[in-house]
Amino acid sequence: MKDNIILEGFMGCGKSTIGIKLSYQLRLTLIDTDKWIERRQKMPITEIFAKQGEAAFREMETECIRELLTTAEHQVISLGGGLPMKQENRELLGKLGKVFYLKVTPEAVYERIGGDTTRPLLQVENPLERITKLLTERDALYRECADYVLDTSGKSPEEVLLQIREQIEK
Ligand code: S3P
């Protein structure tokens, strides 16, 4: 198994913020799967969804994880929120490193990104309802591939970071 540190969780759970801080503190390279895909496709996620559809985007996520399995070692990897929904991806993640699930409440997600226009799945009339539904469906799958589950509610990024570092440095 590879020794990457993988951050998973719902949109707005803090993966990007924590990923940046963690990679800086540990002096490790940070890979963000959304950014990896955007670079490869030369277009933003919103455009990929609009032009090629969600199914095509999900294929790109699998391609990304497969490629990281051959290239990434000792890095911090922040996953797009829906990537662990595919069983194949969950199996690949198990080989790629230790998976940290950053658990968050629907309300906290809504507060952080309820009005965001860059998340295609939240461009609906009632984003909170959509967030609650998706989170309920996804929680078990996030848990299924998690080595560690961290509750982020009411915690600062620094507190979450500390919890991750405690596990890594054990
Ligand atoms: C998605 C999450 C997004 C991005 C895409 C789909 C999802 O990533 O991959 O909009 O299905 O939850 P973030 O979790 O980084 O926002």
Residue with tokens 């595919």: 86
Closest CA to 143 of 92, 95, 84: 84
12 vs 25: CA distance, rounded Å: 21
Give residue 74 CA to ligand 1 midpoint distance, Å: 24
Closest protein CA for atom 11 of ligand 1: 82
Q: Is 11 near ligand 1, meaning CB less than 6 Å away?
A: yes
Residues 13 and 157 sit within 8 Å (Cβ to Cβ): no
Residue with tokens 């020794």: 3
Residues 84 and 15 sit within 8 Å (Cβ to Cβ): no
Closest protein CA for atom 2 of ligand 1: 81
Q: What angle do CA 29, 17, 67 make, to 5 degrees?
A: 40
Q: Is 130 near ligand 1, meaning CB less than 6 Å away?
A: no
83 vs 159: CA distance, rounded Å: 25
Handedness of CA 136, 154, 82, 140 (dihedral sign): negative
User: Tens-digit pLDDT profile for the chain (170 aa)?
Assistant: 889 999 999 999 999 999 999 999 999 999 999 999 999 999 999 999 999 999 999 999 999 999 999 999 999 999 999 999 999 999 999 999 999 999 999 999 999 999 999 999 999 999 999 999 999 999 999 999 999 999 998 899 999 999 999 999 98
> Tell me, what's the pLDDT at 1?
84
Collapsing DSSP states into helix, strand and coil, what is residue 162?
Answer: helix
5 vs 30: CA distance, rounded Å: 10
8 vs 70: CA distance, rounded Å: 20
Which phi-psi region, left, alpha or beta, contains residue 154 (left: φ > 0; alpha: ψ -120 to 50)?
left
165 vs 170: CA distance, rounded Å: 8
